[in-house]
């Protein structure tokens, strides 16, 4: 409870009363989330957790760890195995996530074919030989993809120590919760419980910066379980806001950044391709808000924005797709801060002449994404911030760092230039 209260800690008694009202409201909603009656039902088949042991060959496969995805396994030859990977439901976006352990009583090379139900091979295999702490690409000489069958076949050296194979380096709920705890050690960061997933896991937020002033940047990530590169970008971006640099220190004097790093913990733990446990794509639930995970984010952001004098400036939602791209409003859609998106992306492009900043601008009031919601409700730039599945990890770090610096620079200019104007004025296009 301490951490929940701290997110909204303040100084004056009047403010504290408001805050306790807010706290109570959040707690009230949080309580609702736990109830199956309002929190939705599990509507997807739950992946059976087990180990497949092939006694003749001494080979065994397992999906008995969080984030694993392996639905069936058969032996198809002396040293050949076929793994079936199923989505949690369909039709579904082709985010064909897989993750499993494999070991053998004796050292041998085996061929493992990944076959997908209602999907196609998408993620280049990664390998870890230390239980998921460190990851490498499986060398391209060790796997091939069949474009006709949409399958992939991996040549794996296996032995008594299990190796872990997955579609991306696994940054799952354990790793993200560890990161959240580590971040919350900093004096200027508070962790708060803001809701529960459909299966009752906590949904945590970080507040970066002091409780005042009430200028907000909202960040969410991992609505879609396999989107690890979006998580990497979010981590680098957020860590840059917490740096001990003159710019970050000044930014934190003027802005609170509210981060929900793990929107879909159940989906991540179950190795889902896309959905939460109700089989709902959370980034299609920002109008109906039928799911507890999206309601937690909505209620937090709306409650914070409703505080007297509060002013949201930006909503970023981190994802992964084929290549790096920003989905934004079009320049014809006015925002507060004015022209922020064009200025921000232009500044990133200027600092990265060897990199193409790609943007697609659009807005429709009947869209059902966080991006449409943020713009409709707050009139702020609301951006789906996408990294490619295969974007070089050092490039993700570099781009996220520059993007964080340019965001801080532009937003600081907003509050410093315009403090004298009317800081609490509502944006004209806020709806
Ligand atoms: Zn996504």
Q: What is the mean pLDDT of residues 326-355?
A: 98
**Rounded Cα distance, 68 and 46, in Å:** 12
Element (H, E) at 207: strand 202-208
Checking if the pLDDT of 17 tops 80, the result is no
The CA 232 to ligand 1 mean position distance, Å, reads: 13
- Residue 139's φ and ψ, nearest 5 degrees, are -55, 145
What is residue 332's DSSP assignment? T
End-to-end CA distance of the chain: 33
Residue ranges of the chain assigned to CATH 2.60.40.3120: 51-166
Compute, in angstroms, the gap from residue 81 CA to the centroid of ligand 1. Answer: 31
Buried-state track 171-190, b at ≥16 Cβ within 10 A, e below 16: bbbebbbebbeebbeeeebb
2 Cα–ligand 1 center, Å:
32
Beta bridge partners of 190: 207
CA dist 403 and 360 (Å) reads: 17
Spacing, Cα 378 to ligand 1 middle (Å): 22
Residue 148 has pLDDT above 90, yes or no: yes
Distance 414 CA to ligand 1 centre (A): 30
Ligand 1 centroid distance, CA of 274 (Å): 8
Give pLDDT tens digits for 169-183. Answer: 999 999 999 999 999
Closest CA to 85 of 95, 75, 72: 72
**Protein residues within 5 Å, CB atom, of ion ligand 1:** 224, 227, 319
Task: Decide if pLDDT at 427 tops 80.
Answer: no
Q: How far is the CA of 269 from the centre of ligand 1 (A)?
A: 16
SS3 383: strand
Beta strands 359-361 and 325-328, pairing class: parallel
Strand 59-62, strand 126-128: pairing? unpaired
- Number of CB atoms found within 10 A of residue 109's CB: 11
CA 102 to ligand 1 center in whole angstroms: 29
d(CA 31, CA 20): 16
Q: 319 C-alpha vs ligand 1 centroid, how far in Å?
A: 4
What confidence category does residue 431 fall into, taking pLDDT thresholds of 50, 70 and 90?
very low
Q: How far is the CA of 326 from the centre of ligand 1 (A)?
A: 12
Q: For position 248, what pLDDT does the model report?
A: 98
Average pLDDT over residues 406-419: 90
pLDDT over 80 (residue 27) = no
As a whole number of angstroms, the distance between CA 365 and CA 339 comes to 19
> For 334, phi and psi rounded to 5 degrees?
-65, 140
Rg (CA), the chain: 23
The answer to whether the beta carbons of residues 385 and 357 sit under 8 Å apart is no
Residue 322: how many CB atoms within 10 A of its CB? 11
Least confident window among 10-14, 185-189, 247-251, 404-408: 10-14
Structure-token match 């859609």, residue found: 333
Query: pLDDT tens for residues 88-120?
Result: 999 999 999 999 999 999 999 999 999 999 999
Question: DSSP string covering 37-49, please?
Answer: HHH----SPPPPP
3-state secondary structure of 124: coil
pLDDT band at 229 (very low <50, low <70, confident <90, very high): very high
CA of residue 64 to ligand 1 center, whole Å: 25
pLDDT of residue 31: 31
Segment 41-51, tens digit of pLDDT: 899 999 999 99
pLDDT at 39: 53
| Per CATH, domain 2-34+171-418 is 3.40.630.10 | yes
Is the confidence at residue 33, as pLDDT, over 60? no
Average pLDDT (247-257) is: 98
DSSP 306-325: TSTT-EEEEEEEEEEESS-E
List the 136-137 sheet strands across, edge first.
Answer: 51-54, 59-62, 99-104, 163-166, 126-128, 136-137
> Does residue 2 register a pLDDT over 90?
no
Ranking 230-234, 381-385, 420-424 by mean pLDDT, the lowest is: 420-424
Closest among 362, 360, 278 to 321, alpha carbons compared = 360
Instruction: Provide the β-strand partners of residue 75.
Output: 81
In the chain, residues under CATH classification 3.40.630.10 are: 2-34+171-418
Distances (CA, A) of 194 to 133, 206, 210, 228, 294: 29, 10, 18, 22, 11
User: With 0-12 CB in 10 A as exposed, 13-18 as middle and 19+ as buried, what is 282?
Assistant: buried
pLDDT higher than 70, residue 36: no
Q: How far apart are CA 274 and CA 7, in angstroms?
A: 30
Q: Residue 387 Cα, ligand 1 centroid: separation in angstroms? A: 10
**CATH 3.40.50.9100 is held by the domain 51-166:** no
pLDDT for the residue numbered 32 = 32
The residues facing 387 across adjacent strands are: 320
Handedness of CA 181, 301, 297, 315 (dihedral sign): negative
Could you report the per-residue pLDDT of 115-142, keeping only the tens digit for each? 999 999 999 999 999 999 999 999 999 9
Model confidence, pTM: 0.89
Question: pLDDT value at position 29?
Answer: 33
Question: Could you give the CA distance from residue 116 to residue 150 in angstroms, rounded to a whole number?
Answer: 7
């Amino acid at each position: 409870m301490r951490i929940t209260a701290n997110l909204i800690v303040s100084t004056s008694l009047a403010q504290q009363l408001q805050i306790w009202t807010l706290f109570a409201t959040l707690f009230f909603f949080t309580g609702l989330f736990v109830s199956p009656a309002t929190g939705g039902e599990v509507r997807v088949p739950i992946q059976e957790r087990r180990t497949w042991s092939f006694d003749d060959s001494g080979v065994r496969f397992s999906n008995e760890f969080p984030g694993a995805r392996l639905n069936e396994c058969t032996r198809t030859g002396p040293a050949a195995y076929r793994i079936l990977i199923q989505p949690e439901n369909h039709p579904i976006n082709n985010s064909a996530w897989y993750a499993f352990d494999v070991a053998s009583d004796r050292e041998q090379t085996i061929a493992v074919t990944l076959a997908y139900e209602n999907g196609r091979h998408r993620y280049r295999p990664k390998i870890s030989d230390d239980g998921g702490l460190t990851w490498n690409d499986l060398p391209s000489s060790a796997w091939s993809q069949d474009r006709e069958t949409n399958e992939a076949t991996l040549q794996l050296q296996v032995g008594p120590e299990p190796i872990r194979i997955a579609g991306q380096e696994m940054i799952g709920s354990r790793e993200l919760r560890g990161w959240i705890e580590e971040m919350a050690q900093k004096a200027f960061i508070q962790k708060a419980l803001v809701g529960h997933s459909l299966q009752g896991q906590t949904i945590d937020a970080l507040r970066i910066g002091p409780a005042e002033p009430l200028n907000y940047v909202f960040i969410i990530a991992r609505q879609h379980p396999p989107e690890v590169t979006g998580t990497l970008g979010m981590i680098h971006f957020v860590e840059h806001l917490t740096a001990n640099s003159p710019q970050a220190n000044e930014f934190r004097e003027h802005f609170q950044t509210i981060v929900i790093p793990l929107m879909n913990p159940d989906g991540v733990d179950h190795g889902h391709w896309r959905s939460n446990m109700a089989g709902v794509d959370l980034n299609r639930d920002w109008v109906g808000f039928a799911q507890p995970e999206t309601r937690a984010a909505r209620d937090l952001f709306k409650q914070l924005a409703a505080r007297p004098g509060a002013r949201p400036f930006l909503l970023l939602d981190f994802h992964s797709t084929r290549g790096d791209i920003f989905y934004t409003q079009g320049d014809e859609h006015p925002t507060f801060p004015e022209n922020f998106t064009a200025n921000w992306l232009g500044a990133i492009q200027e600092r990265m002449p060897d990199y193409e900043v790609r943007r697609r601008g659009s807005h429709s009031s009947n869209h059902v994404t966080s991006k449409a919601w943020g713009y409709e409700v707050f009139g702020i730039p609301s951006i789906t911030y996408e990294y490619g599945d295969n974007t070089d990890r050092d490039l993700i770090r570099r781009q996220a760092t520059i993007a964080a610096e340019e965001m801080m620079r532009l937003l600081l200019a907003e509050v410093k230039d315009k403090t004298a104007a009317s800081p609490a004025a509502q944006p004209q296009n806020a709806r």
